[in-house]
Structure 1
Amino acid sequence: MDRLDRKILRILQEDTTHAVADIAKKVGLSTTPCWRRIQKLEEEGVIKRRVAILDPVQVNAAVTVFVSIRTNSHSVEWLKRFAEVISSFPEVQEFYRMSGDVDYLLRVVVPDIAAYDAFYRKLIEKIEISDVSSAFAMERIKYTTELPLDYMAVEKGE
């Protein structure tokens, strides 16, 4: 990984629809070597996939709910089942196992409170959990999918 790879990643995180020729020009390469670098970043798993980011209002999923879950079950079998259940809900955008007072944290998107209530009811039908606490986001102040690249290790001399 070198400074050119970092530049390519910055550009792709901003907008993956840039033509390879445009990316190459911006980073100071010709098209073929730039394309090879992008392919290598994909093969190595640095670039996981290329996606479209949709407007939640336009697709009627503008309500964000942060769901904190506590459980008394901490077996591998329960976690596997829980992960399967959570993964089956398209409303769940993010799912984390946490340290501290909360065992799991979900970011859920729905059109309204009634839809969240339906989600909640389906969730507790499918798996036993001890405590669920929901916090509705009032306003999204910052949202990005771009990861900070300044922490990347780069080849020496770059």
Structure 2
Amino acid sequence: MSMNIDETDRRILAFLQKDASRSLDALSEAVHLSRNACWRRIKQMEDAGVIVARIARLDPEALGLGLSVFVMLRAKEHSEDWLKRFRAAVSEMPEIVGAFRMSGEIDYMLRVRVGSVGEYDRFYQRFIQKVPSADVSASFAMEEIKDTTALPL
């Protein structure tokens, strides 16, 4: 279902992206709508698939997952079977927090969250058993300057 997003919807979305745990009353007041009108707009955006989920964002450092790793992967083959194995591994391995099919030299980019280089090595050993690859390389983030799930509205 497609929907037109107006400026009021954008304000609602911006508010929810910052803090979806605040009350509907606080949201209604912030966007200058009645509680019911605000709720209806949120429901419409959920039904249209604009709002996919309302979740809690966690601090990776506090949970011992402070190392962000970007894994570049070249597929060993480009077959339906390989892709099926790759997708299954991505789904099964919770350390993979993002997976992208890329253009250019690299076929896939993974974003992996672990607590240490040793944990990454254990992840890597499990991953290559599940998915045969032509080449796998990793870059470790030295500093996170910006990491957000908020979309530019």
TM value normalised by structure 2: 0.94
| Paired amino acid for 1:69 | L
Q: Distance in 1 between matches of 2:101 and 2:128?
A: 18
Kept after mapping to 1: 8 A contact 2:82/2:131: no
How far residue 125 of structure 1 moved from its aligned partner, in angstroms, is: 1.0
The aligned residue for residue 156 of structure 1 is none
The ranges of structure 1 where at least 4 consecutive aligned residues each deviate by more than 6 angstroms after the TM superposition are none
The aligned residue for residue 22 of structure 1 is 26
- Say which of 126, 142, 149 aligns to 2:146: 142
Q: Secondary structure at the match of 1:130?
A: strand
- Cα deviations by residue, 1:14-51 (Å, 9 ceiling, x for unpaired): 00012111111111111011011111111111000011
Q: Secondary structure at the match of 2:105?
A: coil
Q: Secondary structure at the match of 1:135?
A: strand
The aligned residue for residue 154 of structure 1 is none
How far residue 114 of structure 1 moved from its aligned partner, in angstroms, is: 0.6
Count of matched residue pairs: 149
How far residue 109 of structure 1 moved from its aligned partner, in angstroms, is: 0.6
The aligned residue for residue 103 of structure 1 is 107
How far residue 53 of structure 1 moved from its aligned partner, in angstroms, is: 0.7
Q: Which runs of 5+ in 1 are unaligned?
A: 150-158
TM alignment of 1:50-61, pairs within 5 A: 50-61=54-65
TM value normalised by structure 1: 0.92
The aligned residue for residue 125 of structure 1 is 129
Moved more, 46-55 or 70-79: 70-79
Kept after mapping to 1: 8 A contact 2:85/2:130: no
